[in-house]
Amino acid sequence: MSKDPANKMWGGRFTASPAEIMEEINASIGFDKRLATQDIRGSKAHAEMLAAAGIITKEDSKRIIAGLEQILGEVDSGKMAWSRALEDVHMNVESRLKDVIGAPAGRLHTARSRNDQVATDFRLWVRDRLDELDAALARLQLALARKAETHAGTVMPGFTHLQPAQPVTFGHHLMAYVEMLARDRGRMGDARKRLNECPLGAAALAGTSFPIDRHATAKALDFDGPTANSLDSVSDRDFALETLAAASIAAMHLSRLAEEIVIWVTPQFGFIKLSDRFTTGSSIMPQKRNPDAAELSRAKVGRIAGAFQSLLMVMKGLPLAYSKDMQEDKEVTFDALDSFGLALAAMTGMVEDMEAQPETMRAAAGRGYSTATDIADWLVRELKLPFRDAHHLTGRVVALAEGRGIELEGLTLADLKTIDPRFRADALDVLSVENSVASRKSHGGTAPQNVRKMARGWIRKLEKAAGAG
C-alpha cells in the first residue's frame, strides 16, 4: 500500500495519497497486467514513431526500446514486481522503464495518453484471442468432420421435440455442428475486421499537436490503419462487445452439443461412450462415469453471455469520451474468452475420443415409427395421392403397428393391404431405416453419400488451413 505523498506518475498537484479504499477500487493492475505484452508492443511502436517523426531523439528511442525489451523479459519470467500504488499496467511499465533507463523514460508518454494506450492494448489483446479462438474452433470442426466421415452411414434417430422423428445418420448430426461453428468463425472474423483499426495517437481524446505518424504506428502493430475520430477511438469498446456477442452465440452452440453428449452417454440412450480422459467417477457410486467436461462446457455459456451483458451495461449511457467505468471492460472479457477457449479444448478432446455405438443407435432409429413419413412419401410418389391423404392413411398404418406392439419394420405386405389394397411389396422397402436415410439425397439431406461428401470437403479445407497456419 502506497505511503507515497502522491502518485508519482500524475501526482504533481496532489499533496496526499489516495485513501486505501480509493486505491482498491481504482487499481486495475491485479488484472490488467495481462495486457503487459500488448502494452510493451504498443510502446515500442510509439517510441519508434516518435523518433522517426523527430519528436524525440533516435538515441532516446533506442534506449526506451531496449528498456522495454528488458521489461518484457522480466514480465515473461515472472520477475516484474507489480505495484498497486501505480494503478495499472501502463504506469507500472513506465515506472519500471524509469528504473531501467532513467530520464529518457519520461519522453515515452509524449503525444499519447493512457486512454489511447489502453484502447490499443485491449484491441491487440482481443485480436490475439480472436485468432486463437478461430484456430480452436477450426480444430473442433475438424474433429467433428472426421468423426462424421467415419459415421456417414451410421443410422441414428433424428429428433424433433426430442421425440423420434425421422432416421438420420450420426455423421449428418455431427456435420450440423460443423456448419454452426463455421458461422461462429465468420462472426468472429467479422469482429476482427472491424476491430483492426489503431486508436494509438488519439491521445487523451482530442488528438495531439505533435506531428505524429499514426499510419506508421498502425502498420507496426499490424492494424489496417488508424481510427478516424479521436473521441471515438478512446471511448468505444464495441470491438470487445462484438467479440463477446459472437463468443456467446458460439458458446450457445457448444452448450447444445455438450447437452447432446450428456444425453447420448446415458445408459438409457447409450449412443456413445466417452473416454476415461474426459469423464469422472463418483465418490460414492462405483458404477458411475460422469460427463463432467460436457456439463461444464454446457455451463460456460452463462459466464460468456453474462460478460456480454455486463459490458453492455457498463457502456450504456456513458458520455464521450473516456470514463473510468470502462476499466470494467477487462475482467469480464478475460474470463469469458478464457472460459470459451477452455470449453472448446475440452469439447474437441471429447469429440475426438468419443466412440459411437452404431448398434444401439440403429435399434433406436427403428423405434417410434420413425419411417412413417417414408410411407406417406411412397403413397404420394407411387400412387399419386395428395400428401394430406397419404398422411392420413399412414396414420392408420402407425395405429396398426402400435396396436400390435410392433415397429413399422415388423409389418408385412398383407398388413399394409388391410389398410389400403393398393400397397405393393416395394412399399415395405421404405420401412427400413437404411433405405430411409439413403433416400434423402436432397441438397443438405442426410443420405450417407451427401454426408461423406460434405465431411470430406470440410476435412480437406480444414486440414489445408491448419497446415498453412
Active-site residues, by number, are: 161, 282
The H or E element spanning position 155 is: strand 155-160
120 touches ligand ARG by CB under 6 A:
no
Shortest distance in whole angstroms from residue 198 CB to ligand ARG: 17
List the grid coordinates of 404.
400390435
Among 9, 18, 32, 243, interactor with ligand ARG by CB under 6 A: 32
123 touches ligand ARG by CB under 6 A:
no
Among 255, 327, 333, 373, interactor with ligand ARG by CB under 6 A: 327
Cell 502493430 sits on residue:
221
C-alpha span between 149 and 463 (Å, rounded): 14
339 touches ligand ARG by CB under 6 A:
no
Residue 31 or 210: which CB sits closer to ligand ARG? Answer: 31
121 touches ligand ARG by CB under 6 A:
no
Instruction: Name which of 133, 110, 120 is nearest 89 in CA terms.
Output: 120
Shortest distance in whole angstroms from residue 118 CB to ligand ARG: 4
114 touches ligand ARG by CB under 6 A:
yes
Residue 122 or 177: which CB sits closer to ligand ARG? Answer: 122
237 touches ligand ARG by CB under 6 A:
no
C-alpha span between 388 and 291 (Å, rounded): 44
Residue 32 or 60: which CB sits closer to ligand ARG? Answer: 32
Shortest distance in whole angstroms from residue 337 CB to ligand ARG: 17
Cell 447444445 sits on residue:
256
User: For the chain, what's the residue count?
Assistant: 469
C-alpha span between 204 and 65 (Å, rounded): 23
State how far Cα 452 lies from the chain centre. 26
Size of the site for ligand ARG (CB under 6 A): 10
39 touches ligand ARG by CB under 6 A:
no
Q: From the CA atom positions of the chain, what is the Rg in Å?
A: 30
C-alpha span between 292 and 446 (Å, rounded): 30
28 touches ligand ARG by CB under 6 A:
yes
Give the β-pairing of 163-169 and 197-198: unpaired
92 touches ligand ARG by CB under 6 A:
no
322 touches ligand ARG by CB under 6 A:
yes
Residue 272 sits at the vertex; the CA angle it makes with 270 and 274, to the nearest 5 degrees, is 115
Name the site residues for ligand ARG (rule: CB under 6 A).
28, 32, 88, 114-115, 118, 322, 324, 326-327
